[in-house]
Amino acid sequence: MAGNLWISAPKSQEDIDEAENLKNEANEYFKKQNYDRAIEFYSKAIEKNPRNAVYYANRSIANLRLENFGYALSDASLAIGLDKSYTKAYYRRAASYMSLGKYKLALKDFEYVTKVRPNDQDAKMKYNECNKIVKKIAFEKAISVDKKEVNIADTINLDAMSIEDEYEGPSLVDGKVTLKFVTHLMDYYKEQKKLDKKYAYQILIDVKAYLQKQPSLVDIKVPDDQKFTVCGDIHGQFYDLMNIFDLNGLPSEKNPYLFNGDFVDRGSFSVECIFTLFSFKLLYPDHFFMSRGNHETLDMNRMYGFRGEVTSKYTSKMADLFTEVYNWLPLAHCINNRVLVMHGGLFSSDDVTLDDIRAVDRNKQPPEDGIMCELLWSDPQFMAGRAPSKRGVGCQFGPDVTANFLQKNGLDYIIRSHEVKNEGYEIAHDGKCITVFSAPNYCDTMGNLGAFITMNGKDLKPNFRCYGAVTHPDVKPMAYANSFLSMLCQ
């Protein structure tokens, strides 16, 4: 890639002028948060003039907004190859590295800029901020000692905690979640009030104890005449979560749900979402299910707001306990031995079976490859075969990969989430791969509908309910996200 000598030059001045017009059109789409269209027009500009570093850097930031970290990283690197003095391209690449949890590589980019531009105060400031993050993470690793990880849940003394005198919120009954507790909790959250920390810790400890007994792949039996609901990403959009329950009824033994990962991050009511969902999990353990998503991980929570939100509303110790709990969330669910549900998607290998998923040791942060990683990160593609992931993690898989996997495992179709869709859902791969995304107007910018899927146990035919976003208090998305990442993504 050095020098990008292999990238052809534009054929004429006319191509250069047209490329600039296409870039300007792309910028307009970007301003309107229509990132897909922006990428389309930046790509057209690149076709006309492949040697303009700005086009790649602009496409990189659009891909960052869509969480296509792999593509963003590649574009930023191409921009740097074309113009080694282009500071913004280094910032884009650093943001991509940080989004992928590769903080030391981000630091190298900042270090390079400070060396070639020693008087650039902005570069110095960004280098210092990134260096602080790298040192903080190294310090956290050092104090987490080597003794098979400290078990945070075991260090919490609930008996020593008292309920605050002024607290008027919901109360556990003999330490247990009741329906009255959950309904009161949701109303309490709607008023932007906070669950007492003693009850919050109790819920987390109890959820962890339950999840530890669950397999990595949970089998769900839905009776022929019973409705079952699958929801996709919620991403801290509590008021939209409440709207799902208004539209589809509260969870109960007669109205079971599966929430398919990414409950938190980006949206600034993630604490409210996760405690509501965990409360229902404790109330109806055999009729309320939760899969791990790629945002139920330490690196994502550090960057995209959940860790900051928990620390702000409670303590950093509770944020550590959440990490511990998330490690035990199941990775996939299989409905009536016919429909497999996971957050991300399928695999880079053709020989993966349901038993392989059951055998995954999930009590950890996801590795960068393998079954666990791909369940959380992979995406479908329209063309056959496989391709490197646009996200830089997992893989992209085509309709033939889906068909082979279903046949090998005796399944009808898969449901996954993980991607914003304009209608809240998408049917791909000849109806065999369904995406459902339940956070409407994602991040208050995307303008998409949300959706959930209902089916009955007899035929498992998916029915889609779409809905728009509802109003919420004036707390912006990413309010608790790492401010340094936000600064890089301007």
pLDDT digits 0-9 by tens, 291-329: 999 999 999 998 899 999 999 999 999 999 999 999 999
DSSP 3-state percent helix, strand, coil across the chain (nearest 5): 45, 10, 40
Give the right CATH number for 2-143 from 3.40.50.300, 1.25.40.10, 1.10.3720.10, 3.40.1130.10. 1.25.40.10
Q: Where are the domains of the chain?
A: 2-143, 153-485
Instruction: Assign 218 a pLDDT band (cuts: 50, 70, 90).
Output: very high
pLDDT recorded at residue 266: 93
Do domains 2-143 and 153-485 share one topology? The answer is no
Q: At 132, is the pLDDT very low, low, confident or very high (cuts 50, 70, 90)?
A: confident
92 Cβ neighbours under 8 A, 6+ residues apart? 57, 60, 61, 64, 72, 75, 76, 79, 488
pLDDT range class, residue 137, cuts 50, 70, 90: confident
Task: Band the pLDDT of 138: cuts 50, 70, 90.
Answer: confident
Q: Is 295 in the active site?
A: yes
On the question of pLDDT at 95 being above 50, the answer is: yes
Interstrand relation of 433-436 and 425-428 (parallel, antiparallel or unpaired): antiparallel
Question: Which residues, 6+ apart, have CB-to-CB distance to 228 below 8 Å?
Answer: 220, 222, 256, 257, 258, 335, 454, 455, 456, 457
**According to the model, what pLDDT value does residue 3 have?**
44
Question: Residue 360 and residue 372: Cα distance in Å, rounded?
Answer: 7
**pLDDT band at residue 100 using 50, 70 and 90 as cut-offs:** confident
**pLDDT(277) > 60:** yes
pLDDT tens digits, residue range 362-383?
A: 999 999 999 999 999 999 999 9
| pLDDT tens digits, one per residue of 321-353 | 999 999 999 999 999 999 999 999 999 999 999
Q: Which whole number is the average pLDDT over 450-477? A: 97
The total of other beta-carbon atoms located within 10 Å of residue 489's CB is 18
CA separation (Å) from 489 to 26, 35, 90, 485? Answer: 17, 13, 12, 6
pLDDT in tens, 228-270: 999 999 999 999 999 999 999 999 999 999 999 999 999 999 9
In whole angstroms, give the CA distance from residue 240 to residue 203: 23
Strands of 450-456's sheet in order across: 288-290, 257-259, 227-231, 450-456, 463-467
According to the model, what pLDDT value does residue 130 have? 87
Q: What is the pLDDT of residue 342?
A: 98
Residue 42 pLDDT greater than 50, yes or no: yes
Instruction: Report whether pLDDT(489) > 90.
Output: no
Mean pLDDT of 199-223: 98
pLDDT of residue 335: 98
Collect contacts of 182-185 with beta carbons under 8 A, ≥24 apart.
Answer: 182/276, 182/279, 182/280, 182/283, 183/250, 185/275, 185/276, 185/279
Which is the catalytic residue, given 184, 235, 287, 295? 295
Query: Which H or E run includes 303?
Result: helix 298-304
Structure tokens at 346: 């399928």
Classified as helix, coil or strand, 276 is helix
Which tokens go with 229? 């609901």
Topology given in CATH for the domain delimited by 153-485: Purple Acid Phosphatase; chain A, domain 2 (3.60.21)
For the chain, give the percent of residues with pLDDT over 90: 82
* 3-class secondary structure, 413: strand
Is residue 423 over pLDDT 90?
yes
Whether the per-residue pLDDT at 141 is higher than 90: the answer is no
Is the confidence at residue 127, as pLDDT, over 90?
no
- Per-residue pLDDT band for 8 (boundaries 50, 70, 90) equals confident
Cα within 13 Å of Cα(481), Cβ side = 26
Q: Measured on CA atoms in the order 123, 129, 132, 133, is the torsion positive or negative? A: negative
Kindly tell me if the per-residue pLDDT of 1 is higher than 60: no
Question: What is the rounded average pLDDT for all residues in the chain?
Answer: 93
